[in-house]
Amino acid sequence: MEKSRVLIVGGTGYIGKRLVKASLAQGHETFVLHRPEIGVDIEKVQLLLSFKEQGARLVSGSFNDHKSLVNAVKLVDVVICAISGVHIRSHQILLQLKLVDAIKEAGNIKRFLPSEFGTDPARMAHALEPGRVTFDDKMVVRKAIQEAHIPFTYISANCFAGYFLGGLCQPGFIIPPMDSVILFGDGNVKAIYVDEDDIAMYTIKTIDDPRTRNKTVYIRPPENILSQREVVQIWEKLIGKELHKSSISAQQFLSSMEGQPYEQQVGMGHYYHVCFEGCLTNFEIGEEGVEACGLYPQIKYTTVQDFMKRYV
């Protein structure tokens, strides 16, 4: 089939740069939005130039300039937005409403993938404050997309391996400890860990696929559906040493949230739902969803064990 032309907004971000790489690798004509504000950040400028060297095209555009956004989206078939992170800074998520307006006006877009890539916000209406703001904002964006009748795919990517596995699921850690670990509860609640490069690969696979049109794609690699305890055991086996384990109860965890800065509370709320409530795995995928590994079995995703080897 003819490859789609793809515009990536937020292409210099943590997941965004992987999306650019995956889009180029899968042969798409790839455009990266280059905001004028980026011109003062040398790391971002150089990253954009390296994309250009790999064949991407840079398009100038700003969220403060509606016409530039319309002009940018008119160049492509698919728009993928990767602004903001999985967790905090959620005020940025609503910037996408300007992108939705531009897509609506341009009228040519065959698929829009908003910035999701985490827990499915449609299932998080009950989430703790203030972390719920992330999900509330994402739902505001979804509503705008659907009211504008823009064809969409929502990517529910679950836990980013670099953040969760690196720390053995402990908040504030990105390197695995060699001595001791704190388990959430009994550590037996299942979560789902996905290498960020695989998230990008699955995402780019979905953009032209009629099976994912107006659907939520859940990324649930079967071998990576593991509890915290199982992750710790993989690490212990890799380093040939048993860690000292202590446990924190749900009540202890929640009370430790009090008095923390806003961003910390947002992140800890998210951790609570993942690690104590099992919100990534405690439901069956329904009519509105499809599962990425079932759709794209040819992708050899990185297992948790292989991912952890880099830290040894």
Partner 1 sequence: MGKSKVLVVGGTGYIGRRIVRASLALGHETYVVQRPELSLQIEKLQRLLSFKKQGAHLIEASFNDHKSLVDAVKQVDVVISAISGVHIRSHSITLQLKLVEAIKEAGNVKRFLPSEFGLDPARMGHALEPGRVTFEDKMAVRKAIEEANIPFTYISANLFAGYFAGSLSQMGSFVPPRDKVHLFGDGTLKAIFLDEDDVATYTIKAIDDPRTLNKTLYLRPPENIISQAELIGIWEKLIGKELEKTYIPPEGFLTTLKGLDYKLQVGIGHFYHIFYEGCLANFEIGEEGEEASKLYPEVNYTRMDEYLKIYV
Residues labelled catalytic: 138
| CB-based contacts of 10, cutoff 8 Å, min separation 6 | 16, 33, 81, 82, 83, 84, 115
| CB-based contacts of 230, cutoff 8 Å, min separation 6 | none
Which CB atom, from 163 or from 193, has the smaller least distance to partner 1?
163
Which CB atom, from 296 or from 311, has the smaller least distance to partner 1?
311
Our CA angle for 270, 271, 272, nearest 5°, is 90
What minimum distance in Å lies between the beta carbon of 206 and partner 1?
A: 25
In angstroms, rounded to a whole number, what is the distance separating the alpha carbons of residues 101 and 109? 12
Residue 107: both structure tokens together = 């009228």
For residue 67, the SS3 value is: helix
State which H helix or E strand residue 136 sits in.
Answer: helix 132-147
What minimum distance in Å lies between the beta carbon of 42 and partner 1?
A: 5
In angstroms, rounded to a whole number, what is the distance separating the alpha carbons of residues 203 and 277? 26
Which CB atom, from 53 or from 179, has the smaller least distance to partner 1?
53
What minimum distance in Å lies between the beta carbon of 132 and partner 1?
A: 24
What minimum distance in Å lies between the beta carbon of 162 and partner 1?
A: 6
Going by C-alpha positions, the residue among 207, 117, 216 that lies closest to residue 161 is 117
Which CB atom, from 1 or from 42, has the smaller least distance to partner 1?
42
In angstroms, rounded to a whole number, what is the distance separating the alpha carbons of residues 197 and 297? 16
What minimum distance in Å lies between the beta carbon of 227 and partner 1?
A: 23
Which CB atom, from 118 or from 289, has the smaller least distance to partner 1?
118
Phi/psi for 72 (5° steps) reads -65, -50
Which CB atom, from 45 or from 133, has the smaller least distance to partner 1?
45
What minimum distance in Å lies between the beta carbon of 25 and partner 1?
A: 17
In the chain, helix, strand, coil percent, each to 5? 45, 20, 40
What CA dihedral angle connects 67, 88, 113 and 227, to 10 degrees? 170
Question: What residues line the site for partner 1 (CB under 8 A)?
Answer: 14, 39-43, 45-46, 49, 52-53, 162-163, 166, 172-175, 310-311
Q: Do 116 and 155 meet the contact criterion of CB atoms below 8 Å apart?
A: yes
